[in-house]
Each structure stands twice: as structure tokens, then as C-alpha cells.
Amino acid sequence: MRKLASVAITLVVFFFCAGTSIGFSKKPTEALSRTFAHYIRGVLYDSQNKIDRAIEEYLKALALDSTAPAIHQRLAIDYIRSGQYEKAEEELLIVKKLKPRDKGTRIILAHFYTAQEKFTEAAAVYEELQKAYPSDLEILASLADLYVIQEKEEEAISIYQQLLKQKPDSAQIHFNLGTIFVKVNKFKEAETHFKKALKISPDYLQAELALGLLSEINQNLPEAIEHYQKALKVDPLNINVYRRLAQTYYRDKRIEEAVRQYKFILKLNPYDVDTYLELAYIYLNEEKAGQCIKILEEAEQHKANWRIPAAKEARFYLILGLAYTRNSQEQKAVEAYEKSIAAAPESGVGYFYLGAAHEQGGRRQKAYEALKRSVELDGENPDALNYLGYIYAEDGIMLDEAQELINKALEIDPGNGAYIDSLGWVYFKKGMIDDALAQIEKAAGLLEDAEVFEHLGDVYQAKGDIERARGAYERALGLEPERKSAQERLEKLRPGNPINASR
């Protein structure tokens, strides 16, 4: 729930600006004087921010005259300021009962409910007000906003259309209507209202951006780019617009323009970690690991100025680790993954990549430990389940557990050719050759991968089908010509060489 201190101040201002009368009842002079004295002392304590003392005085005043709305209002405000929201609501409802036709009182109550996120109650009060004051634009606008919060889009549209009849030249109302039409997937209507908002107010930044987003939804990326460029003419230093433009350039495969925009953002704000990450992601996707490393190492120099969540720091080091891995900088990759884990120790992703790095570097025991931890933290990550199961199978150990891990991965992603191959390989290691053949042939039909065809060759060889084994190894080499293990297997199957199926 949001803090209500600022709401309390707002309501106090509202009371005085609305000209709220004190409204003491006509008691005998002495009683009235005592009531008023307590009331004034309460006001003085309020001015000194002595809320508890003020509450005491207002309660004493109400003990003498419980029908004075102003005292209940003051008491409600102090209850809000002291976090006693239920008591505040009780006091506001008393004021409403004492002044049932008072517009200001009901607006105050609606504001209170909105601040407390009691949107149904707030809407009910505004609906009462709308019936009493059907032409009041502020009441209509507040009710429409509440309907949006409650996801009552059709009701909100109806209210805004009423508002438009009274204020047809309101860019804000057109924009709000367009936003709601987007939520209900009525994009044509949304576009119409965003364009009307811009026609009325040509520098309406949010309307221009909304048209850009609509163009993206409609897969018209060049048009979206035009809208973002127009938005930058309105606000030439808006980093968020530059970022959206860069993202759209990248989606439109205009890589150089995207990179140029990201670099310009970094000139505006050299500490913007999000921009470094997005630019690094482009370099990584474009197989430019060296440039990815360069940009992230530059970002790391500003680490003292980072103000980012731990999850984002973890992602930063994951991307850096992947770039080091692709650049064959194994030790630096391991260090980056360890930094990712330090930032988010309860995330299994860092352990997964660390385990993969250790496995590729031949550090089997460390790979087991990291991958097991990854699975412990995230038992629904099929890649981690499969990877751990597969290296168990490769080493011929814990084959039952390996089969269980891979089967769980296949439950999550049943059509994954790599996982199917892993299951076949477990069967092969268990000596279940026919089962292995069925799975690995299935994997080969799904995945053009040298390792899968090498496995298939091994299974054919185990069954004594030398011609098919030779064909499978040749297929593996066709996909990966430098694959030494497949070369060695194929060489052993040449005439005059003994068949050796060991791995």
C-alpha cells in the first residue's frame, strides 16, 4: 500500500481551499467555548506536528460536541498522518453522514479510498457524485481514471466520450481514450485519437510515442522509427526515446543505426548500464565477442556509479562471461560467471554457465558441483537438467540419475533434439542398444548436429551395421570437418583397420 503522508497534506489543503465551515452545533455558550478551545488547541498542535496531542484535543472536543463535521475532518487527517487508516475512514464516513449532500466531503472520501487503493469504494463515491453533478468534468475524469485502474475499459471509454462532448479540443482526453483503446486491442480507434491529440497539440510527446508503439504492434517498423524521430524533435535529449529508436532500428535489422544511437546515449549518460547491456547484446548476437567485451569492460570501469538491482548486475556478468567464452578467454569467463553468482546467489543461471565453462575446460568435478547447484536452485531449467545428465552419461556414472534428469528435461521440452540424443546416449551407456538407436535416430531427424550423428555412428557400429556407421560419421564430418573424434572413428572403419567402438 502506498504511503499516505502526502495524501494527508493534500486533504488538509483541500479542506481549507474548499472553504469548509467548522460547523459546531448550537450548544450553550460555555460548552461551545470549551469545544472550540479544544479544537483550537488541536489545530495548534497540528501546526507543531504534534499529532498525538492534536488527536487528544479533537477527541475531547468531540466528547462535548460529536456533531461538528470540521472536528471529525481534522481527526481523520491526523489518523491518516499517524497511519491509523481504519479510524480515519470511520471519521470520514461520519462527516459524510453529517453532511450527506456536501460535494467536498464526498470528494475527500473518494480521494482517501483512492490513496488506500480501495478502488471499488472510491468508484462508488464518484458514481454517486456523477449522478448529483453530471456535468462536473473533474468528477468524470476521476471516475474514468478509476475505471481504468479497475480494468473496466468499456465504462472508462464511455466516460471519456462524455468528456469529449464537453471538451472536444482536449488533447489529454483524446490521448487517454487512445490508451484505453490500445488496452482492448482496438488499434484503429487508438490511432485516430492519438492523431487527434497531436493535431490539437503538435508537441504532445506521449502521443507521438504512442503512435510509434502502435506502428511496432502493426509490424511497421519504418513508420515507428519516423514517429520516434519526430518525438526527438520535441525532446532532443530524451534518453528513453533514443533507446526506443535504437531498439526499433535493431528489430528492423538496421544494425549500424542501432549501434550509433546506443553510442550517442552513452555520450549523454556514460553511466547508463541498460544501454551498455543492450549494445553488448547486439555485439554478442552479431558474433562480435571482442566488441562486446570492450563495451562491457568500459561499463565496468564505472561500477562505483552503478545504481542497479542485483539481478541486472548478475545479467551483466553473464553476458560478459558468454563473450569471454566465445572469445576463448576461459579463465575470464569463469571469473565473470562467479561475479554473476555473487550478485544473485539464489539464481541457478549463473551456476549453469559456470558448470558449462568448467566442463568445457575439463574440470569435471567442478562442473558437477556447479550444475548440481543450478538444478537445486532451479529444477525447471531443462538445459541444466540435460547438461548434468549428459555429462554423467559421458563419464558412465550415475546413469539412473542421468536418465531421470534428462527425462525431466524432456517433460519440459519434449521436442528438443539435443535432450532426445542425451537420453539415447544414456541408453547406449547402459547397453540398451535398441532403445538407444530409436532415440538417437529420432534426434538425428530433428537436429543437424555433428555430435548426434557421431552418436548414431557409434550405435550402428555396436549393432554391427558398419556401412550405416560409416555414413553417420561422414555426416558428422560434413557438419563439423575438424571433428577429430569422428575422423578417428571413420578411419578405424576403413578396410584393413580393426573395428574399435570404444569412446
The span from the CA of 107 to the CA of 368, in Å, is 64
DSSP assignment of 337-400 equals: HHHHHHH-TT-HHHHHHHHHHHHHTT-HHHHHHHHHHHHHH-TT-HHHHHHHHHHHHHHT-SHH
Range in 161-175, 247-261, 333-347 with the lowest mean pLDDT: 161-175
Q: pLDDT digits over 263-298, tens only?
A: 999 999 999 999 999 999 999 999 999 999 999 999
Residue 176 domain flag: yes
Judgement on whether residues 105 and 11 belong to the same structural domain of the protein: yes
Residue 391 domain flag: no
For the ranges 35-49, 407-421, 480-494, the maximum mean pLDDT occurs at 407-421
- HEC assignment per residue over 66-114: CCCHHHHHHHHHHHHHCCCHHHHHHHHHHHHHHCCCCHHHHHHHHHHHH
Mean pLDDT computed over every residue of the chain: 90
What pLDDT was estimated at residue 30? 73
pLDDT (average), residues 449-470: 97
Residue 403 has pLDDT above 60, yes or no: yes
Range in 22-31, 195-204, 322-331, 390-399 with the lowest mean pLDDT: 22-31
Could you list the residue range(s) of the whole structural domain that residue 496 is in?
448-503
Residue 308 domain flag: no
What pLDDT was estimated at residue 503? 39
Task: Point out the domain boundary residue: 79, 98, 117.
Answer: 117
What pLDDT was estimated at residue 461? 96
Model confidence band, residue 128 (pLDDT cutoffs 50, 70, 90): confident
Model confidence band, residue 183 (pLDDT cutoffs 50, 70, 90): confident
Residue 307 domain flag: no
How crowded is residue 502: how many other Cβ atoms within 10 Å of its Cβ?
Answer: 5
Judgement on whether residues 95 and 191 belong to the same structural domain of the protein: no
Tell me if 359 sits within 8 A of 395, measured CB to CB: no
pLDDT (average), residues 396-416: 98
Q: Please name which of 396, 407, 350, 389 lies closest in space to residue 373, comparing C-alpha atoms.
A: 350
What pLDDT was estimated at residue 497? 67
Task: Point out the domain boundary residue: 247, 269, 291.
Answer: 269
Judgement on whether residues 12 and 79 belong to the same structural domain of the protein: yes
Judgement on whether residues 177 and 71 belong to the same structural domain of the protein: no
What pLDDT was estimated at residue 28? 55
Q: pLDDT digits over 46-86, tens only?
A: 889 999 998 998 899 888 888 888 888 888 888 888 888 88
- Can you state the angle between helices 103-115 and 137-149, rounded to 10 degrees? 20
Higher pLDDT, 315 or 100: 315
What pLDDT was estimated at residue 14? 45
Q: pLDDT digits over 139-151, tens only?
A: 888 888 888 888 8
What pLDDT was estimated at residue 102? 82
Tell me if 498 sits within 8 A of 461, measured CB to CB: no
Judgement on whether residues 112 and 211 belong to the same structural domain of the protein: no
What pLDDT was estimated at residue 356? 97
Residue 52 domain flag: yes
For the whole prediction, is pTM greater than 0.95?
no
Model confidence band, residue 227 (pLDDT cutoffs 50, 70, 90): very high
Report helix, strand or coil for 21: coil
CA 107 to chain centre: 35
Residue 502 has pLDDT above 80, yes or no: no
Residue 342 domain flag: no
What pLDDT was estimated at residue 19? 42
Q: What is the CATH number for 502?
A: 1.25.40
What pLDDT was estimated at residue 126? 83
pLDDT (average), residues 486-498: 83
Judgement on whether residues 192 and 261 belong to the same structural domain of the protein: yes
Task: Point out the domain boundary residue: 269, 287, 317.
Answer: 269
Residue 13 has pLDDT above 80, yes or no: no
Judgement on whether residues 111 and 22 belong to the same structural domain of the protein: yes
Model confidence band, residue 217 (pLDDT cutoffs 50, 70, 90): very high
What pLDDT was estimated at residue 27? 52
What pLDDT was estimated at residue 144? 81
Judgement on whether residues 111 and 211 belong to the same structural domain of the protein: no
Judgement on whether residues 197 and 108 belong to the same structural domain of the protein: no
Judgement on whether residues 2 and 71 belong to the same structural domain of the protein: yes
The span from the CA of 430 to the CA of 453, in Å, is 19
Q: What is the CATH number for 5?
A: 1.25.40.10
What pLDDT was estimated at residue 404? 98
Judgement on whether residues 22 and 95 belong to the same structural domain of the protein: yes
Residue 502 domain flag: yes
Q: Which three cell numbers stand for residue 123?
A: 468508484
Q: In total, how many domains does the chain have?
A: 3
Q: pLDDT digits over 75-86, tens only?
A: 888 888 888 888
Judgement on whether residues 22 and 90 belong to the same structural domain of the protein: yes
Residue 36 domain flag: yes
